[in-house]
Chains A and B, each alone.
Chain A
Amino acid sequence: MKKILWFTILYSFSFFVWAQETYDGEYTFNGLKGVGTFDFIKGEGDAIIKQGEFKFIRKERDIEDKTIFYKTDVIGFYEQDLKTGHWEYQDELHRIELQDVVEFNLDYDLSSEQISLTAEYQSGVPHGKWVYIENEYLNGTLSPKSQADDVRFRNGDIEGKFQYKSFVEGKTHFIKGELNKEGFMNGEWTFVYRADDILVSEVRKYENGFLLGVVKRNLETDSMIEESVFFQTIRKLNAVNAGENKGFRISEDRFGIQFNDGFLSGSDQFAVQRAGNQFINIFLTNILRYDAKFVNPNGELIDYPVHTRRFVFELTRGEQRVVEELPGKFDVLMSTVRDYAERNALRLNRQKSDSLSYAYDFFQFQLEKLTEFAEIMNLFRTKEIQFYDLQYLASEELPFLREKDVISYTFEDSTYTKELEYNVGNIEESFYTALSGYIAQIGTKTSEIKSYVDGSLTRIERDDDLRGIEGQMRDRKDELDEKFTEIQDFDQMTRQILRAVHDNILETNFNQLNEKYAKEENFDQKKETAKVMLDLLDEMESKYESLSKISEREQRLDEFYMEETFNPFTYTRYDQRAKPKLYESAEIVFEHYVEQLINEKDYTQIKNWVSKIDRYFERMGELREADTRREERKINRRLSVSKIESMLEF
Chain B
Amino acid sequence: MKFRKGGICLFLWLCIRYCSESTFAQGQQPIVVPQEKISLPATTENWNGLYLKLRMTEKWWWYQENHYRRRSSIDNRSDFIRRMGQLYNRFGFTYLFTDNFEVTFGPTLVWNFAPDRGSQEYVDSVLEPRFWHQWLLTQGVGSVKILHQFRFEHRFKRSNNVGAEFNYTDRWRYKITAYVPLNKPKMENHTFFIAPSNEFFFETGNQVWNIFEENRLYTAIGYTYNNYMFFGGHMWTYGPSAIPGTYRNRHIIRLNVMYTIDFRDRRRPITRDFAF
A residues in contact (CB < 8 Å) with B? 553, 556-557, 559-580, 617-618, 621, 624-625
A567 touches B260 (CB 8 A): yes
Instruction: Give the interface size bracket for B toward A.
Output: 20 to 34
How distant is A501 from chain B, measured CB to nearest CB, in Å? 22
B186 touches A572 (CB 8 A): yes
Known contacts: A561-B269, A575-B189. The answer to whether A569 contacts B274 by CB under 8 A is no
Known contacts: A570-B187, A572-B188. The answer to whether A560 contacts B226 by CB under 8 A is no
A567 touches B187 (CB 8 A): yes
Known contacts: A559-B274, A560-B274, A618-B276. The answer to whether A566 contacts B99 by CB under 8 A is yes
Known contacts: A575-B188, A579-B267. The answer to whether A570 contacts B224 by CB under 8 A is yes
Contact of A568 among B53, B187, B188, B275 (CB under 8 A): B53
Bound: A569/B188 CA distance, A: 11
A578 touches B138 (CB 8 A): no
Contact of A575 among B96, B138, B224, B270 (CB under 8 A): B270
Contact of A567 among B229, B270, B276 (CB under 8 A): B229
Give the residues in chain A near B188, CB-CB below 8 Å: 572, 574-575
Contact of A556 among B100, B226, B274 (CB under 8 A): B274
**B262 close to chain A: CB less than 8 A:** yes
B138 touches A577 (CB 8 A): no
B269 touches A557 (CB 8 A): no
Task: Please list the 9 inter-chain residue pairs (A to B) with the smallest Cβ-Cβ separation, ordered nearest first.
Answer: A574-B188, A560-B274, A568-B53, A572-B187, A571-B138, A621-B276, A570-B187, A559-B271, A569-B258
**B105 close to chain A: CB less than 8 A:** no
How distant is B270 from chain A, measured CB to nearest CB, in Å? 5
Known contacts: A569-B53, A575-B270. The answer to whether A580 contacts B276 by CB under 8 A is no
B99 touches A557 (CB 8 A): no
B189 touches A577 (CB 8 A): yes
A576 touches B145 (CB 8 A): no
A571 touches B53 (CB 8 A): no
Query: Can you name 12 A-B residue pairings with CB atoms under 8 Å?
Result: A560-B271, A561-B269, A567-B187, A569-B51, A570-B145, A571-B138, A572-B179, A575-B188, A578-B267, A617-B276, A621-B274, A625-B269
A564 touches B270 (CB 8 A): yes
In the complex, the chain B residue whose C-beta lies closest to that of A568 is B53
Give the residues in chain A near B269, CB-CB below 8 Å: 560-563, 578, 624-625
Give the residues in chain A near B179, CB-CB below 8 Å: 570, 572
Which residues of B, 234-273, contact A by the 8 Å Cβ criterion?
Answer: 258, 260, 262, 267-271
Bound: A99/B127 CA distance, A: 136
Bound: A625/B147 CA distance, A: 36
Chain A interface, DSSP helix/strand/loop, else mixed: mixed
Give the residues in chain B near A580, CB-CB below 8 Å: 226
Which residues of B, 99-118, contact A by the 8 Å Cβ criterion?
Answer: 99-100
In the complex, the chain B residue whose C-beta lies closest to that of A618 is B276
**B71 close to chain A: CB less than 8 A:** no
0 or 1 for each of B66-102: is its CB under 8 Å from A? (1 = yes): 0000000000000000000000000000101001100
B262 touches A562 (CB 8 A): no
Bound: A567/B188 CA distance, A: 8
Bound: A575/B190 CA distance, A: 11
Give the residues in chain A near B189, CB-CB below 8 Å: 565, 574-577
Known contacts: A574-B188, A575-B189. The answer to whether A563 contacts B268 by CB under 8 A is yes
Give the residues in chain B near A562, CB-CB below 8 Å: 269-271
A572 touches B268 (CB 8 A): no
Bound: A571/B53 CA distance, A: 12
How distant is B197 from chain A, measured CB to nearest CB, in Å? 13
A577 touches B276 (CB 8 A): no
**B55 close to chain A: CB less than 8 A:** yes
How distant is A200 from chain B, measured CB to nearest CB, in Å? 94
Give the residues in chain B near A571, CB-CB below 8 Å: 99-100, 138, 145, 147
**B172 close to chain A: CB less than 8 A:** no
**B209 close to chain A: CB less than 8 A:** no
Bound: A565/B262 CA distance, A: 9
Give the residues in chain A near B260, CB-CB below 8 Å: 567-569
How distant is A135 from chain B, measured CB to nearest CB, in Å? 92
How distant is B59 from chain A, measured CB to nearest CB, in Å? 12
In the complex, the chain B residue whose C-beta lies closest to that of A553 is B276
**B61 close to chain A: CB less than 8 A:** yes
Give the residues in chain B near A618, CB-CB below 8 Å: 276
